[in-house]
Homo-oligomer: A and B are copies of this chain.
Amino acid sequence: MSLVVAKFGGTSVATPERVLSVAKRLVQRKRSGDKVVAVVSAMGKTTDDLIALANQVNTNPPAREMDTLLSTGELVSMAMVAMAIHSQGEEAISLSGRQVGLVTNDVHGKAKIREIHAERIKEALEEDKIVIVAGFQGIDANGDVTTLGRGGSDTTAVAIAAGIHADVCEIYTDVDGVYSADPRVAPKAQKIDVISYEEMLEMAAAGAGVLHKRCVEFARKYGVTIHCRSSFNDEPGTLVKEYESHMEKALVTGVAHDSSEAKFTIRDVPDTEGIAATVFGALADANISVDMIIQNISEDGHADISFTSPKADINRTREVMEAIVEKTGAAEFVVAEDIAKVSIVGAGMKAAPGVAAKMFRTLADAGINLSLITTSDIRTSVVIPGDKGPEAVRALHTAFGLDGDDVFEETQLSAEELAAKMAKGR
């Protein structure tokens, strides 16, 4: 018998038919002897619909009211799943963020979990019920509803798994695990069976979108094992847990890429003390997140500063940079939108200094220029021309011995085609 937390995203509960299919899966799981807690997101596009509804009465709605509004999406889906389980002949009880005692700070829209009082879940499990919990939501000290922001439902699931000491937190998604690279780009990518928290965090930071960094951080902090798996089949997926590499393990676990960022360079900034603080302070004030940062100081006392930040924020970033050029007397700033960030991630890199060099050599051999390089303990990232992204991923995947025998036949599968293919149990 296992104690399992299972999280289902909006796509998995998008229609009454899919709700029934999730219910059947949970019932089957319970009948096989497990105790089951499910965490659910809002059905399909409900959250987007509610945001659109709100915007019709207020284009800048107060965050407290927005949280109350959005939280109804998960209340609907938890009740629906509980009802569907009853229709399959098992007992179920739905519990809101408030009812599971998920207490957060009061930062509406991106609240952080402070504590969880899981008594009610435990009681219900002892009464032999399947427990359905609303993801994404909690309450603050005033009893007001809060939401957890991006990746909120995954984080709810991990927090509950920690709170009830579950054996595993299963995150059901439309792919069947974490891959050594995006299989749509690298057809020889292989599913990773086990990955450490640290590697998964670096993969997430490098653009691998399967799990949110935040829920992985939470899992690491509380030692929760995550099982990332497909909602379309029963195949095992990827385990994310405390994990020591074996001696024979590959140096590199995965190759990630990310085309969502642009590169900004501000040239010939007079190199006064605190210039980096000025630039990145201004960006932080504008709530623009910055990923890679490089500063070169020339001999004449001028500096070039480059960084990457989301393309989505490009207009705001331009405004901030124009003001900084004016203020600092820099020569100019330039923007490169057509870039890709490619990263290799692996705990084995720590003890093997030649890994980065091998990465650069591989890309050079493929005729790919690097414009920025950053490294951490277990990740090396480079910025290259945007159109070279897929080629770089494949070259690195092969060079680091990650290629499998199983090959995706098409490199340009849509997300849905990919899911369908995976559902067939490849």
Contact = CB atoms under 8 A, between A and B. Distances in A.
Given A57-B84, A58-B86, A61-B86, A79 B75 contact: no
A419 to B, nearest CB: 23
A78 interface: yes
For this chain, the copies found in one complex come to 2
Contacts of A54: 79-80, 83
A23 B57 contact: yes
A93 B61 CA distance: 12
Given A64-B93, A99-B143, A75 B83 contact: no
A56 B54 CA distance: 27
A56 B94 contact: no
A16 interface: yes
B68 A79 contact: yes
A372 interface: no
A82 interface: yes
Contacts of A66: 79, 83
A19 B69 contact: no
With a 10 A CB-CB cut-off, give which of A20, A62, A79 has the most chain B CB atoms. A79
A65 interface: yes
The 4 A-B pairs with the shortest beta carbon distances in the complex, nearest first, are A16-B56, A69-B79, A58-B87, A57-B84
With a 10 A CB-CB cut-off, give which of A57, A80, A96 has the most chain B CB atoms. A57
A292 interface: no
A312 interface: no
A267 to B, nearest CB: 44
A50 B16 CA distance: 12
B86 A53 contact: no
Given A72-B75, A76-B50, A65 B94 contact: yes
Given A62-B83, A68-B78, A69-B79, A53 B93 contact: no
